[in-house]
Amino acid sequence: MQIAVIGSGYVGLVAGACFADLGHDVIVVDNDEKKLAALNRGEVPIHENFLPELLHRHRGTRLKFSDDLETAVRASSAIFVAVGTPPTEHGEADLSYVESVARGISGAINGYKVVVEKSTVPVYTSDWVRKIILRNGAESEEFDVASNPEFLREGTAVTDFLYPDRIVVGADTLRCAALLREIYAPLADGTYYLKPDAIPRPDRAQIPPPLIVTSAKSAELIKHASNAFLAMKISFINAVASICESVGANVQQVCQGIGTDSRIGPRFLNPGVGYGGSCFPKDLMAFRAVARECGYEFRLLDEVIRINEEQRSRFIRKVRSALWTLRGKKLGVLGLAFKGGTDDIRESPAILLIQALLQEGCQISAFDPAARERAQEALNSNVTMTEDAYEAARGADALLILTEWEEFAALDLKRLKTELKYPIIVDGRNLYDPEVMAAEGFTYYSVGRPAASPEPTPSPAASTRVGKGTRS
Ligand code: UGA
């Protein structure tokens, strides 16, 4: 099938490349000339596993890049809208890019087409997109508007797309649903997975994935509700971690105990410095705004957001309790991206924490395997970026772990200890076993677990309660 994807951001580019791998002919449209030129030159603008392979495989054949919306729409049976929906100052999603694309599509309709929302949008957007297309001259029988939300995570976006837990198709007519079923048939009937060059199957994937057909409005809600639920899981476990710290319990054991209940499940129960990224913070605010507009005060979401913000303050208090005063302290920081496996620093807890620590007068050397350049810009050169983790630790009063990169969980601890001025680690991602760290000679603080130290440990309550001055 001929498909147009409007917008070459994370979602658009990954969707375009994956549709091409399913055997469709895809035109990705963007109005950013520079980005298009880079894509046409073969550059890969985002750090995403398997994306370089897919772009290399299909670029110029099944996958084309263009700035010509009209031609792309005319040529295509399905138009996926994957443009940005940034938050307004009141937290609602700004849908002006979606509206402008809808206007553009309207003028180019030349036969039945399905216009598919792929960006995360509030409920009722499909109604509005339909109205705008009609207002601008298209006939009602010439098109349908569908919602086909994406559940991909940055860093694993390609495998999430090709091995999804489910495919959600929000279509209000049979014709529209049939067209979307056809697009996803290689995944839903499993034929994609038989291809010798299929992207390798990740461990947990169930194939083939179920394809769930709903109304467009339900699909819009599924996306917001999914992200809100996942963020709620994270804030829930962060709140439990705080209680663990107060009573000297171990949140990892608590997680094991609750996560094995199949109704709860173990995933997204990792405590840390709070969630970040371009999705959860924005989508929670947008969902709250949608609810408010419908007359429902979704106070649970207020609390999810509040716990997330507080998690960063708790972390700063923990650093302070490890070092006593902060002014003039030299800190090594591991991790700048909002999570491991990506170079994205949008709403990154690591960046927000570094900014807070700079304000406290700390000097910071930081390392991230992928996000250094972006972070350097955001931090206005106030942080020394290093070539590796050991250099970040060199001469530091303490080392902070802020992003869950796999390589940060496999450091040479003996070397790390010789690099640090004092062997103190404050781990915001629980990457190490406290006992192992103590045995290796570190004073080690993490989230929701008792602090560990090579010296005789004080009573659990005193060693773990944030703000209790457990300076070593
Ligand atoms: C999230 C969702 O997981 C995707 O399903 C969704 O499609 C996407 O948003 C989106 O709406 O586009 P993503 O933002 O890439 O994906 O990242 P996640 O892996 O969900 O992580 C979000 C944040 O939560 C990160 O800062 C991560 O470190 C944090 N996190 C995650 C935790 O603190 N604990 C956990 O157990 C899991």
Q: What is the pLDDT of residue 463?
A: 45
The string of pLDDT tens digits covering residues 374-395 is 999 999 878 999 999 999 999 9
Q: What is the pLDDT of residue 53?
A: 97
Residue whose C-alpha is closest to residue 114's, from 80, 137, 156, 159 = 80
Residue with tokens 């496996």: 341
176, 279, 294, 362: which is the annotated catalytic residue? Answer: 279
Q: What is the pLDDT of residue 96?
A: 94
Question: What global pTM score does this model have?
Answer: 0.94
Q: Is there a catalytic annotation at residue 279?
A: yes
- 184 C-beta closer than 6 A to ligand 1: no
Q: What is the largest CA-CA distance in the chain?
A: 78
The ligand 1 atom nearest the CA atom of 267: 36
Q: 268, 280, 307, 345: which to mutate for ligand 1, most atoms within 8 A of CB?
A: 280
Residue with tokens 């992003």: 403
Q: 230, 305, 308, 314: which to mutate for ligand 1, most atoms within 8 A of CB?
A: 230
* DSSP codes, 211-263: EEEE-HHHHHHHHHHHHHHHHHHHHHHHHHHHHHHHHT--HHHHHHHHHTSTT
Q: What is the pLDDT of residue 456?
A: 65
Nearest CA to ligand 1 atom 8: 153
How far lies 323's CA from each of 363, 384, 413, 428, in Å? 14, 21, 20, 16
Q: What is the pLDDT of residue 458?
A: 53
Residue whose C-alpha is closest to residue 192's, from 153, 214, 161 = 161
CA 271, 445, 406, 437: dihedral to nearest 10 degrees?
Answer: -140
Query: Measured in angstroms, how far is the CA atom of residue 403 from the centroid of ligand 1?
Result: 12
- 338 C-beta closer than 6 A to ligand 1: yes
Q: What is the pLDDT of residue 352?
A: 98
Q: Mapping DSSP to helix (H, G, I), strand (E, B) and coil, where does residue 171 land?
A: coil
Q: What is the pLDDT of residue 233?
A: 98
- 154 C-beta closer than 6 A to ligand 1: yes
Q: 156, 275, 308, 344: which to mutate for ligand 1, most atoms within 8 A of CB?
A: 275
- 158 C-beta closer than 6 A to ligand 1: no
Q: What is the pLDDT of residue 457?
A: 53
Domains of the chain are 2-214 (3.40.50.720), 223-307 (1.10.1040.10), 312-445 (3.40.50.720)
- 48 C-beta closer than 6 A to ligand 1: no
- 287 C-beta closer than 6 A to ligand 1: no
Within the chain, which residues score under 50 in pLDDT? 460-472
